[in-house]
């Protein structure tokens, strides 16, 4: 016997029979804590999408209104989730990523009625065991944020002070760096990023009060972008498209009988016109995204029995149950839950879905696709005209069925089976119209004007729209900037100079009214003090800024304006996303146009305008003047720094020349070099500001004008639009030459 694996050969009638030797039973030993933690981490964080789901749920628990996800290499190289929630306390950072540390519960009984998304305190800890985690956070009232890194559940160094925006940003790098087999398997998979996009889309249509976005690292456009809205159907339309939203039916089920079960379900299911190859089911139970195979199969059975087999349904359902009836702690990734009276609830939902489908299946709507053909057969045209007209001259409503009988006969070719549109009809197809309306609905919700005063202001804009200018705006081509104020547009054979400041000011004013109470927010890196802003604005306007009397008067005006805006803070935040705290600090501004941020140097002027120019007594005039103040602030004014590409370059050389003439020693030369470097930085800053403005005018302003703008009649005569040339007149000049 050489070792425990050795065997003894016993000879029986010239045959050798192997006989195993009895082995010692293996010794049971306690696993090291690091091994236990990594095993648990592998169960909780199974794929990158598992980490994204856990982080989004943490952000929702933090009362976030905006969640942004950035992913690189399917989540293996980078997952970054940023929110604007309440943040993490500085004193909690050392134990943030330890196992079983949580703010959601303190004793086991709390689990019986849990209402939060998280509760075990394993998600962040698991991420630190399979990746490198960095947390940046700031809480309300702090002057700066803190950044901390974590490995294996422990904080590596003391938190470092840093600049931060409101909320928390968690970054996971090199996911599964210490699990070679899993990382190699996931690297060969191409469906991790689509899974992340899918799960964020599901959160986006349920949590309609939160805006979600997801993009690949380095990409300029988000693959998912939802805005906070009051309509769930609008959220579905923005994520899954107009073709899905228009084929959905609302469904509601409830049972308040205490003898069996208490539950409430509402959602949307696809009707008989919806066609898809795969079932899409989005299910939330007590606001928790879960999978329920039994419910999904029950609904699919109803669809199979009622509708054609080729059609798979789209289902969104939100079920609300008493928290004590739900057991959330049955799956490592919280994908599933267990709830009381499951069979009864599923059966009742199945019954209501079946009756709803049967009632909708009585009539089906088929979308007609029209096709434009550049050429047509004369014979086909003549046949169509004779068949469509009746002896009485009235067009028949019946469309003749044509059958191909001869492959050589022109009437048997494909174009003869298509109804021809008149040559003069240039109407665009329904596909383009549906896409355009979908974009408008997504970026400009139609249900924003809930107040009568807002509706009246919007109606005034629509009624005052000039049709000629509207045609120019809708169908123009941007040529370039003529100077700091005017841009060149081409419309048909005419060339126009248009005042960019007037256009942008009016567009912003209209957008404020149309997106009333439905704004996303721009979070300021540091809250801005209203008294200081008002003082700064008054100092710039004053003729004697150094006078004591003037300074005292400015202080009184600043104090009065601050108190006024603090009193109106609730209304400003609810309707315009302008957040002003009890200390008189402003921390957020509204997003009026996507991808556009106003010139923050003009904030003092805007705050002074809010305090002095707004009529707070009359509702309609109040909203009108606030919208006008926002329109003026967000308008694309020239930057305050002179343009260094023109005569303004002298401004950046002035100090260098004056200091250079006084150079008399080495010290002065060193000082002069430092000053020159400062001027160069200022020039580069100005170049960036002017380039950014021109980019915003071309890529943000004019596309938005084409979609949303209703030019008022006053722009015909106030110099906003000036025709400078026409092709016909130029031809006449050339003919004379």
Q: What percentage of residues in the chain have a pLDDT greater than 90?
A: 30
Residue 536 and residue 547: Cα distance in Å, rounded?
A: 15
Q: How many CA atoms lie within 13 A of 247 on its CB side?
A: 23
Q: Looking at residue 184, what is its pLDDT?
A: 83
Helix (H, G, I), strand (E, B) or coil at 482: coil
pLDDT(436) > 50:
no
In this structure, what token pair is assigned to residue 225? 């972008």
Average pLDDT over residues 509-522: 90
What residue spans of 19-94 are helical by DSSP H? 33-44, 48-61
Contact criterion met (CB below 8 Å) for 131 and 514? no
pLDDT at 472 over 80: yes
Write down the pLDDT at residue 18: 65
DSSP string covering 704-726: HHHHH---BGGGGTSSSEEEEEE
DSSP E strand stretches across 115-210: 132-138, 145-151, 154-155, 160-162, 167-173
Q: Which of 196-210, 276-290, 542-556 has the lowest mean pLDDT?
A: 542-556
Q: What are phi and psi of 660, to 5 degrees?
A: -65, -30
Bridging pattern class, strands 132-138 and 145-151? antiparallel
Taking CA atoms, 240 is separated from 73, 247, 442, in Å, by: 24, 12, 11
Which own/partner contact pairs does 343-351 have at CB distance under 8 Å and 24+ positions apart?
A: 344/260, 344/261, 345/255, 345/261, 345/263, 345/319, 346/294, 346/295, 346/298, 347/298, 348/253, 348/255, 349/253, 349/265, 349/295, 349/298, 349/299, 349/317, 350/298, 350/299, 350/301, 350/302
306-327: average pLDDT: 82
What's the angle, vertex CA 324, arms to CA 320 and CA 327, rounded to 5?
85
Q: Is residue 5 exposed (0-12), middle (13-18) or buried (19+ Cβ within 10 Å)?
A: exposed
Cross-strand partners of 498:
487, 721
In 10 A of CB 211, how many CB atoms? 21
Provide mean pLDDT across the span 39-57. 85
Report whether pLDDT(732) > 80.
Answer: no
pLDDT number for residue 125? 86
Helix ranges (DSSP H) in 88-191: 123-130, 180-187
Determine which of 77-86, 227-236, 376-385, 538-547 has the lowest per-residue pLDDT on average.
376-385
**Which three-class secondary structure state does DSSP give residue 104?**
coil
Copy the structure tokens of residue 433: 């119209």
Mean pLDDT, residues 253-273: 80
Model pLDDT, residue 491? 87
Q: How far is 462 from 156, CA to CA, in rounded Å?
A: 60
Q: What is the pLDDT of residues 77-130, one digit of tens each?
A: 999 999 999 899 999 898 888 887 776 665 665 556 666 666 666 788 889 988
Residue 149 clears pLDDT 90, i.e. is over it: yes
Instruction: Over range 550-558, report the average pLDDT.
Output: 83
Neighbours of 109 (CB within 10 A): 8
The b/e string for 222-235 (b: 16+ C-beta within 10 A; e otherwise) is: bbbbbbbbeebbbb
Mean pLDDT of the chain: 78
Give per-residue pLDDT as tens, 338-375: 787 888 888 889 989 988 888 775 555 544 444 444 44
Query: Residue 20: its pLDDT value, please?
Result: 67
Banded model confidence at residue 249, pLDDT cuts 50, 70, 90: very high
């Amino acid at each position: 016997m050489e070792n425990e694996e050795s065997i003894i050969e016993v000879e029986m009638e010239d045959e050798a029979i192997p006989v195993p030797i009895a082995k010692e039973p293996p010794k049971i030993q306690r696993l090291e804590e690091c091994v236990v933690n990594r095993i648990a981490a592998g169960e909780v964080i199974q794929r990158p999408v598992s980490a994204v789901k856990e982080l989004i749920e943490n952000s929702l628990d933090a009362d976030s209104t905006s969640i942004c996800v950035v992913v690189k290499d399917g989540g293996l190289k980078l997952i970054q989730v940023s929110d604007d929630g309440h943040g993490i306390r500085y004193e909690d950072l050392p134990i943030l990523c330890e196992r079983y540390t949580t703010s959601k519960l303190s004793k086991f009984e709390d689990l019986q009625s849990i209402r939060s998304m998280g509760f075990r305190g394993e998600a962040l800890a698991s991420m630190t065991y399979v990746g490198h985690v960095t947390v940046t956070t700031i809480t309300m009232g702090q002057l700066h944020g803190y950044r901390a890194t974590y490995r294996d559940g422990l904080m590596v160094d003391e938190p470092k002070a840093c600049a931060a925006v409101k909320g928390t940003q968690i970054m996971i790098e090199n996911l599964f760096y210490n699990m070679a087999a899993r990382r190699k398997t996931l690297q060969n998979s191409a469906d991790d990023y689509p899974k992340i996009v899918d799960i964020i889309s599901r959160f986006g249509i349920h949590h309609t009060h939160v805006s979600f976005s997801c993009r690949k690292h380095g990409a300029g456009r988000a693959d998912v972008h939802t805005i906070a809205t009051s309509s769930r159907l609008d959220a579905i339309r923005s994520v899954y498209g107009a073709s899905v939203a228009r084929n959905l039916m609302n469904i509601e089920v409830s049972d308040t009988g205490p003898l069996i079960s208490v539950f409430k379900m509402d959602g949307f299911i696809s009707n008989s016109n919806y066609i898809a190859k795969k079932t899409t089911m989005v299910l939330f139970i007590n606001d928790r995204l879960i999978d329920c195979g039994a419910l999904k199969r029950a609904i699919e059975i109803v669809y199979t029995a009622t509708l054609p087999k080729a059609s798979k349904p789209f289902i969104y359902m939100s079920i609300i149950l008493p928290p004590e009836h739900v057991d959330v702690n049955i799956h490592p990734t919280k994908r599933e839950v267990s709830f009381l009276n499951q069979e009864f609830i599923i059966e009742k939902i199945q019954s209501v879905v079946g009756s709803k489908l049967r009632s909708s299946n009585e009539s089906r709507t088929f979308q007609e696709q029209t096709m434009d053909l550049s050429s047509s057969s004369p014979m086909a045209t003549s046949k169509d005209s004779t068949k469509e007209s009746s002896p009485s001259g009235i067009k028949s409503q019946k469309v003749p069925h044509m059958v191909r009988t001869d492959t050589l006969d022109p009437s048997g070719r494909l174009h003869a089976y298509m109804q021809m549109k008149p040559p003069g009809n240039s109407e665009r197809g329904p596909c383009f119209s549906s896409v355009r309306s979908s974009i408008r609905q997504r970026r400009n919700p139609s249900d924003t004007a809930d107040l009568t005063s807002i509706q009246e202001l919007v109606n005034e804009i629509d009624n005052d729209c000039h049709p000629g200018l509207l045609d120019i705006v809708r169908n123009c081509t941007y040529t370039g900037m003529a100077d700091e104020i005017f841009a060149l547009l081409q419309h048909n054979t005419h060339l126009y100079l248009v005042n960019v400041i007037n256009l942008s000011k009016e567009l912003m004013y209209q957008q404020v009214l149309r997106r009333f109470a439905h704004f996303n927010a721009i979070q300021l890196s540091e809250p801005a003090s209203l008294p200081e802003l008002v003082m700064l604005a008054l100092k710039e306007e004053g003729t004697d800024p150094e006078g004591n009397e003037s300074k005292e008067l400015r202080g009184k005006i600043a104090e009065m304006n601050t108190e006024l805006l603090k009193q109106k803070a609730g209304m400003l935040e609810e309707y315009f996303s302008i957040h002003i705290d009890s200390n008189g600090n402003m921390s957020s501004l509204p997003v009026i146009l996507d991808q556009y941020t106003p010139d923050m140097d003009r904030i003092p002027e805007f705050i002074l305008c809010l305090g002095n120019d707004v009529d707070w007594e009359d509702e309609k005039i109040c909203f009108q003047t606030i919208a006008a103040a926002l329109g003026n602030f967000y308008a694309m004014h020239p930057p305050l720094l002179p343009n260094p590409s023109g005569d303004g370059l002298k401004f950046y050389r002035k100090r260098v020349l004056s200091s250079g003439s006084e150079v008399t020693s080495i010290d002065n030369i060193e000082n002069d070099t430092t000053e020159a470097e400062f001027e160069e930085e200022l020039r580069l800053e100005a170049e960036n500001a002017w380039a950014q403005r021109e980019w915003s005018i071309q890529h943000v302003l004019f596309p938005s004008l084409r979609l949303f703008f209703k030019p008022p009649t006053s722009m015909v005569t106030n110099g906003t639009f000036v025709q400078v040339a026409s092709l016909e007149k130029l031809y006449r000049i050339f003919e004379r030459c």
